[in-house]
Amino acid sequence: MDELPIQTGDDVVRIRQHVRNAAAASGLSLVDQTKLVTAASELARNTLIHGGGGVVRVEVVKSAVGRNGVRLHFADEGPGIPDVDLALTDGWTSGSGLGLGLSGSRRLVDEFELKSEPGLGTNVVVVKWSR
């Protein structure tokens, strides 16, 4: 498992490249690699902008039925998300974006778990499995 910092825009670019390599190594198709890297880019930006920076843990995993996958865990200790359901709604935005970051990245991965509490930061774990 690798842990990468998310403190600058350059870090977001590095995370994309790292996730791309992990996705290719675990046998994801080109389309699935692209979906996972895109989701990683959205979530890393959220961690940077809304969470005030944090880390991502990148792990190549194996499912119970033997499928390979990549698991990403984004963690920050920022202000947290007051209403998680609202934040996952298409088009809802806290800033100037389109409101597709969270809801869109959920569609791009196979598993998506978001835990957040005001004052305690935000944790997002996503998994993409090879087919």
Residues that bind another protein (CB under 8 A): 9-10, 12-13, 16-17, 20, 30-31, 33-35, 37-38, 41-42, 45, 90, 97-98, 100-101, 103-105, 107-108
Per the CB < 8 A criterion, the answer to whether 39 and 126 are in contact is: yes
Cβ at position 36, least distance to another protein in Å: 9
Cβ at position 85, least distance to another protein in Å: 18
Report the residue number, 31 or 64, with the smaller CB distance to another protein. Answer: 31
Classify 33 as helix, strand or coil. Answer: helix
Distance of CA 42 to the CA centre of its chain: 7
E strand or H helix that includes residue 84: helix 84-87
Tokens for 8, please give them.
């600058």
Cβ at position 19, least distance to another protein in Å: 10
